[in-house]
Amino acid sequence: MIDFPPTTLRDLRVSYDLDNLTEDKAPADPQELFEAWLEDALVHQLPEPNAMTLGTIGLDGAPTARTVLLKGLDAQGFHFYTNYESRKGQEMAANPAASAVFLWTQRHHQVSIRGLIEKLPPAEAESYFASRPRGHQIGAWVSEQSQVIPGREWLEARQLEMETRFADKEIPCPPFWGGYALRPTQIEFWQGRVSRLHDRLRYTRNGSNWKIDRLSP
C-alpha cells in the first residue's frame, strides 16, 4: 500500500460553485450548449480545450481509451483524425460504437458523449491534412501507429527517410490516414455544484429531436 504524504488523495477535493445548469437554460439542441461551453473554455484560455478522451471497444472485448483532439463539429458529429491502422482505427472498424469525454476542470464542466463512428469523406481528410504543419504531415507518414518498433532510433531514421522522400514536394495525405465523426446518440452535461449536488442533464436522441432528462448526481 502506498504511504501518501500528509495531504493524501482522499483529502483532495474542490468545492464547485459556478453558474447553475437548469432545464430552463438548456437549449433544445445539445450542440448549442456544447459550443457555448467550448467557447467558455477558449475565453478562459484553458489548456488543450479541444482535448477529448475517446473510448472504444477493444478487439478482445475490453474497453480502451486515449486522448485525441476535436478538429471539427457539425451535424454529422464530433470530428477527429488518426491513422486507420492504429489500435483505435482497428477497434472502430470492428465495432463502430464509441464514447468521448471533455473535461474543463477549471470551469467545473464535463461533457460525456455516446454514439456511433463514421469515417469522414477522403476529401475532408485531405483538406484538413493540407492545413497541418509540415512536421505533422511528415509525422503521419513516419508513424506506424500503435505498432511495436525497435526503438527511438528507428523512428528518427524513418523521419529522415520521409523528409528526404518529400524534400521540396507537397506532402500528400497518406492513404492510411483520415478522419472520423462520432455521431452522438446521447450527450450528458455535468456542472459542478456545492456539496457534490451537481447538475447533470442528459440529452438522448429521439428521431430528429432530443429528449432532456435530469440525472441524480
Q: Which domain holds residue 32?
A: 19-129+176-214
**pLDDT digits 0-9 by tens, 195-207:** 888 999 999 999 9
> Burial level of 76, CB count in 10 A (0-12/13-18/19+)?
middle
Given a cut of 60, whether residue 4 has pLDDT beyond it is no
Tell the residue number behind the cell numbers 471497444, with chain if given: 57
- Grouping H, G, I as helix, E, B as strand and the rest as coil, residue 206 is strand
**Does residue 8 belong to any structural domain of this protein?**
no
State pTM to two decimals.
0.88
Domain count along the chain: 1
Active site residue 196: yes
Q: Which of 10, 134, 152, 196 is catalytic?
A: 196
**pLDDT digits 0-9 by tens, 72-86:** 999 989 999 999 999
**pLDDT digits 0-9 by tens, 106-149:** 999 999 999 999 999 999 999 999 999 999 999 999 999 999 89
pLDDT at 7: 57
pLDDT at 112: 98
The CATH number that applies at residue 114 is 2.30.110.10
Average pLDDT score over the chain:
92
